[in-house]
Amino acid sequence: MIKAKLNNREEFEIEDQAGPHFIINGEAFALEITSVGDGVMIARNGPARYKVSVLDADPGNKTFVLKVNGRKHKVVLRDRHDLLLEKMGMNQTLSSEISNIKAPMPGLISEIQCQVGDDVIKGDNVIVLEAMKMENMIKSPADGVIKEIRVKVGESVEKNQILIQF
């Protein structure tokens, strides 16, 4: 059995059956998967068709960023070994939770590419900051949901000023 967590929200229990058959959260699926190129595949379940692209893969941490029919999703997998370690309380990893994005330098906010309530994945573009006659793309340092945007387009900001809160 594998547990998959989608976008840090929904969790699915997947049981692999023979061939293309899977049981996901107790419901049977017959997935036909066809590779169509480097990191791109088509998955079919009856009449439903999904174009899946692998945008980023970290097999060591069992973390993947997929684009499914044009929408980006982060998937974290846990197999039976991970689940056993979790049950034994041995799954703790050293990680710090990031709760905001700060300005890396003084500048002018020229564009905001997210809204309150948006799900962002680590590396997503969130703000364009003009500094020293250059446009600097500020990217999300972690996965999360935008709680508050503390700046507006055209506003000047100082170094370490909080721009976005998760």
Give this prediction's pTM.
0.52
CA–CA dist 6, 75 (Å, integer): 5
Q: Please report the domains of the chain, with CATH numbers, ordered by start residue.
A: 2-87 (no CATH), 100-165 (2.40.50.100)
CA distance 154 to 42: 43
pLDDT in tens, 53-71: 988 888 877 888 999 999 9
**Side chain identity, residue 1:** M
Chain centroid to Cα 139, Å, comes to 13
Question: 81 — phi, psi (to 5°)?
Answer: -70, -45
The pLDDT tens digits for 70-106 are 999 999 888 877 777 777 766 554 344 578 899 989 9
Cα–Cα dist 106/25, whole Å: 49
Reported confidence tier of residue 45, pLDDT bands at 50, 70, 90: confident
